Amino acid sequence: MKKRSGLVNVFETFGRSFLLPVSVLPAAGILKGIGSAFTNASTIEMHPWMANQTLQIIMGFITMIGSVAFDNLPVIFAVGVVVGLAKQEKGSAALSGLLGFLVLHNTLHYLLSVSGQLVDKSAKNADQLMSLHMQTSVLGIQTMDLNVFGGIITGIVVYLVHKKAIKMQVPQVFGFFSGPRLVPILTIPAMALVALGFFFIWPYVQVGITALSFAILKSGYFGTFAYGVIERLLLPFGLHHGLNWPVRTTELGGIFTIDGHQYAGTINAYMAALQSKLPIDPMITRFSSGKFVYNMFGLPGAALAMYMTAKPEKKKMVGSLLLAAALTSFLTGITEPLEFTFLFVAPALYGVHALLVGTTMVVTNMVGAAFLTPTGHGLINFLIYGVLQGAKTHWWWLFILGVPCFIMYFLVFSFVIKKFNFKTPGREDDDETVALHGKDEVRAKLGVKTQKDRDQKNNMPPIHEHALALIAAHGGEGNISAVDACITRLRINVKDEDLVEKDRIVNQLNAMGFTKSGMQMQSIYGGYANQLKIEIQSILGLGE
């Protein structure tokens, strides 16, 4: 298989970096979903007993806790993206991400103020003026409305600074400021320059993003179908996160007006819609509702088709495997055991699945289904975000469409499997083991290398040989129990000090001095010590 382009690698890395910041959203969403279900005005009108003051206080508190994450997504992404991208010294990366975010918005506040563009927040129509001039308040700072994009770009910029600065050698006199301490120092001017660029460029970028957002919304059912197909086709390559999370958290997912306020991204819009008395716009949920249908009904239908087409003597064995995988998909929305299995045995079958996904999502959107979840499209989240939110989500469409979807998947998969004699579980040759297949196995078979694979293979910095020599001079990997560093000293704890080659460390490995404290060997390397620590930890697989 041809080597993947740099653009694809960047896209995958970018998508993977979203995993850490968005990991908080399911728990926060569950809290907010449960709280919203009991505090929604429309639901209270239907069930007056919910108006109990004590219940409302408790549920309001739960809603507030869940809202913390959604109300602060930009700063969560600023910290989360850089931590997700950084491979070493993640503590320094996190601190620098937060600092960079504060520098960005404080600089923008200053530029808006000195240029006379800062909206007067005391005006009667301040909210409308702020929206008109693309301004907002972030952590109490009045600034340009960058939404989650500000956090994402901050995370990427700080990661690039972190990647270079953490291994940058500085003059010995400034050794204290080397390594992880240098990252936040360089982050300040870097993010100030980024803010300056934002000040002049962002208004034009915002116009383009808004236009693209409207284009996506106006793409209608074709856009929904295309999204469903493309998102599934990106999954085997690990690229689907780069498509999903910009749609869920930024203007690319749409800009929706709810009760006079604008919300960017499908998650923010849906959470706001749950609090409103107005019906939920199905365009908010068009990239989510259909996932519940094919996860909970479609894929189990495919599992039944594979079971029914299995060889009689293998049905008992394959039945238990497929039943477990189907239940996992139905309850939690985790589809990997099924999807990667038929991708492994027959990629064409996965292509059929992608087309069925697009079709399911279009039909679900057409009927007006309006349920959404930050992640995990299974029964558990459906109950929280769909059923508990009341009639406004039109949750019953899941079951009305689910049965036909189950039948569609069963009939199509049965036909295709038999027609092309695909070796799905239970149809293998007699000498082959019945098994489901995971993503690592599939990618190995197809020759697909992810960016993570490339990182693990190619992460060979210039100091690598030096670090290997130091490991050997300390008695080898088995003799080392811990690795650390202070400002100037590399500190390596050993089990047997007699195995440590002290003269070699000083005379051949360029240490400026050597001492010990108990079983801790201390080699003086100045500001270079921290870089050696990082490399040795990486080689030995030791935590910081």
Q: From the candidates 139, 201, 207, 486, give the one annotated as an active-site residue.
A: 486
- 405 in catalytic set: no
Query: pLDDT-derived band of residue 533, with 50, 70 and 90 as boundaries?
Result: confident
Rg (CA), the chain: 27
The average pLDDT across 62-74 equals: 83
Report all structural domains of the chain as residue ranges with CATH numbers, in order of start.
6-205 (no CATH), 289-451 (no CATH), 464-540 (3.30.1360.60)
User: Does residue 2 carry a pLDDT above 50?
Assistant: no
Go through 42-70 and write b for each residue having 16 or more CB atoms within 10 A of its CB, e for each that does not.
bbbeeeeebeeeeebeebeebbeebbebb
Contacts of residue 404, defined as CB under 8 A and 6 or more positions apart, other chains included, come to none
Predicted pLDDT at 193 = 95
The token pair at 5 is 């382009």
Q: Which of these, 30, 39, 32, 37, lies nearest to 64 by C-alpha position?
A: 32
Give, rounded to a whole angstrom, the gap between the first and last alpha carbons of the chain: 37
Residue 138: strand pairing partners = 141
d(CA 478, CA 480): 6
Residue 371: is it exposed, middle or buried by C-beta count within 10 angstroms (0-12/13-18/19+)?
Answer: buried
Kindly report the length of the chain: 544
* Phi-psi domain of 376 (left: phi exceeds 0; alpha: psi -120 through 50; beta: other): left
Listed in sequence order, the residues at least 6 apart from 489 whose beta carbon sits closer than 8 Å to its beta carbon are 522, 523, 524, 525, 529
Beta partners for residue 261, in sequence order:
258
**Which residue type occupies 445?**
K
526 three-class SS: coil
Mean pLDDT of 56-69: 85
Higher pLDDT, 437 or 150: 150
- 403 dihedral zone (left: phi>0; alpha: psi -120 to 50; beta): alpha
Rounded to an integer, the average pLDDT of 49-63 is 85
Q: Is the dihedral of CA 498, 500, 502, 508 positive or negative?
A: positive
- Overall average pLDDT of the 47-51 stretch: 79
Helix extents (H) in 296-346: 299-308, 315-332, 336-345
CA 516 to chain centre: 44
Average pLDDT over residues 10-19: 56
Q: Say how far apart CA 301 and CA 316 lie, in whole Å.
A: 18
3-class SS string, 339-407: HHHHHHHCHHHHHHHHHHHHHHHHHHHHCCCCCCCCCCCCHHHHHHHCHHHCHHHCCCHHHHHHHHHHH
pTM, two decimals, is 0.59
Which two tokens mark 153? 């770009």
Rank 138-142, 172-176, 188-192, 251-255 by mean pLDDT and report only the highest: 188-192
Confidence of residue 35 (pLDDT cuts 50, 70, 90): confident
CB 287 within 8 A of CB 302: no
Give me the pLDDT at residue 81, please: 85
Write the pLDDT tens digit of every residue in 466-521. 888 898 899 888 888 888 887 667 889 998 888 999 888 888 887 877 888 788 88
Which tens digit of pLDDT belongs to each residue from 83-126?
Answer: 878 877 788 888 999 999 999 999 999 999 999 888 887 777 77
Contact by Cβ (8 Å): 307, 426: yes
- The Cα–Cα gap between 203 and 180 comes to 34
pLDDT in tens, 228-273: 888 888 777 656 766 777 788 777 787 888 888 888 888 888 888 8
Separation between Cα atoms, residue 27 and residue 183, nearest integer Å? 31
3-state SS, one letter per residue, for 439-492: HHHHHHHHCCCCHHHHHHHHCCCCCHHHHHHHHHHCCCHHHEEEEEECCCEEEE
Indicate if the alpha-carbon torsion angle 233, 234, 238, 242 is positive or negative: negative
Strands 255-258 and 261-264: antiparallel
Q: At what angle do helices 299-308 and 315-332 cross, to 10 degrees?
A: 180
- Residue 300 is encoded by which pair of tokens? 């189990």
What is the token pair recorded at 135?
A: 């301004």
Instruction: Give alpha helix (H) positions in 133-181.
Output: 147-165
Cα→Cα distances 219→212, 246, 374, 444, Å:
10, 17, 23, 36
Tell me, what amino acid is at 95? Answer: L
Q: Would you say residue 296 has pLDDT above 90?
A: yes
Q: Are 18 and 79 in contact (CB under 8 A)?
A: no
Residue type, 310: A
List b or e across 283-322, with b for residues whose CB sees 16 or more CB atoms inside 10 angstroms. Answer: bbbbbbbbbbbbbbbbbbbbbbbbbebbeeebbeebbebb
380, 332 Cβ separation under 8 angstroms: yes
